Structure 1
Amino acid sequence: MARYRKKPGEIDAHQWLKNGDHPEDGPAEFEGKIVRYFRRPEPEYDGQTVHDLCGRIWHDHGWIDALEGGHTVCPGDWIAKGAQGEYYPVKPNSSDEPETDPLADARSLLAEHERQQDEACRAEIEQVLAKYGRKLVVTQPQITIVPT
């Protein structure tokens, strides 16, 4: 089981790949109690037609009943249990890491931005120094300007 952070707290989620994967579904040879077989009468949902969103045939999909109708479950989705006991599919995140730090992306972007600013600043300083026949030498933790 994986843990996802969701405002205001955390939720439980289980990854669903095929019938019977959810721990509350029961044996795989029977229809699941949480994730049911995907059944639709319309011809565009026949078992061999490919679902545009995930690239898998509809026969590989599941269905979760909900008050508002229901949710299609693609193989690889995480099945989350809400605060009211309802279940719903959550698409896998881009890093495929179920436990995420909500500030990790912000920290990474900030570090990249600072690195780019440092590089731009250094290039600008080197251009100015080159006009005067000087160059920048950086040896941690010291910066020295020397003749070229």
Structure 2
Amino acid sequence: MAKFREKPVVIDAIRWDGTNVTEVMDFMNWRNASHDDRQGLVIHTLEGSHSAMVGDMIIKGVAGEFYPCKPDIFAATYEVA
């Protein structure tokens, strides 16, 4: 079995705080997401729809896709560029 390391890639991300709907939707260019009081923030990805919880980081991937990431995973994976 071979070992692999992630390539160093700089990504854009924003923290969902539960109140910054406009800021997050602007970050996502008002696409691939929806928000309402019942479901909260839902991000539509190629793998399906994912609910973002307060505190999650919303990441723009290398292909322009968006997805939520738990804060602990984000902190273990990324650092400020």
What is the TM-score of this pair, normalised by structure 2?
0.62
**Which residue of the partner structure matches residue 22 of structure 2?**
20
Q: Which amino acid aligns with 1:20?
A: T
- The unaligned stretches of length 5 or more in structure 1 are 1-6, 27-31, 40-46, 48-58, 101-148
CA RMSD between the two structures: 3.0
Q: How far off is 1:76 after superposition?
A: 1.1
Instruction: Report 1:1-148 matches (<5 A).
Output: 7-8=6-7, 9-18=9-18, 19-22=21-24, 23-24=26-27, 32-37=30-35, 47=38, 59=39, 61-93=40-72, 99=79
Structure 2 runs not aligned, ≥5 long: 1-5
Cα deviation for residue 36 of structure 1 reads 1.4
- Alpha-carbon distance change, 80 to 86 in structure 1, aligned in 2, over 3 angstroms: same
Residue-pair matches, total: 69
Q: Is the 8 A contact 1:24 1:34 kept in 2?
A: no
Q: Name the CA shift for 1:87/1:25 in 2 (closer, same or farther; >3 Å).
A: closer
- Contact 1:64–1:72 (CA<8 Å) still a contact in 2? yes
SS in 2 for 1:10: coil
- Determine which structure has the larger helix proportion and give its number: 1
Q: Which amino acid aligns with 1:24?
A: F
1:64 & 1:34 partners in 2: Cα distance? 6
**Greater relative contact order structure (CA < 8 Å, 6+ sep):** 2
Q: Structure 1: how far apart are the matches of 2:48 and 2:36?
A: 13
CA contact (8 A) 1:38 1:72 kept: no
Which entry has the higher C-alpha Rg, 1 or 2? 1
Task: Using the aligned pairs only, state the percent identity.
Answer: 30
- Going from structure 1 to structure 2, the CA distance change for 1:34 and 1:76 (only over 3 Å counts) comes to farther
> What TM-score, normalized to structure 1?
0.37
